[in-house]
Amino acid sequence: MPRAFDDVNYFGYGEYESYVDKRRASYRGLFNNKVADMHEDYIMPQENGSHYGCDFVSVSSKGLTLKAVSSDKFSFNASPYTQEELTTKQHNFELNECGDTVLCLDYKQSGIGSNSCGPELLEEYRFNEEYFTFELALIMN
């Protein structure tokens, strides 16, 4: 989306990032934030800044709004970085903003815990569904 779409409103777990296995510091509520403030500056970039258990998210710019809504809870993240940028860079100081707003809408994600630096992710936090149906409406106004 154009960079001017930088005002994010959502109802879900926040105000900090949240995942199915990492949401204890969060609570469900209505939140507003700027895209630039939603990036988590990890030493090793990866999928970050996600918000779990959302009913809707909207991204606005000067009277225009794109809203995503679903009857199923979903996750989203909004970022000034593309997924490719986050995947290919080894250090946070190497990141280059793409010049746009990147909005990712996810049906589900596995938790972020792993046995690379701790115990194996518990089964209840894994996304193992091979087949699923997910409906999401995008509304522009």
82-133: pLDDT as tens digits: 989 988 988 889 999 999 999 999 998 877 776 666 677 888 888 888 998 9
* Mean pLDDT lowest among 5-9, 55-59, 88-92: 88-92
Sign of CA dihedral 19, 49, 101, 31: positive
Looking at this protein, which amino acid is placed at residue 95? L
Return the beta strands (E) in the chain as ranges: 7-14, 27-34, 51-61, 64-79, 102-106, 137-140
22-31: pLDDT as tens digits: 878 899 999 9
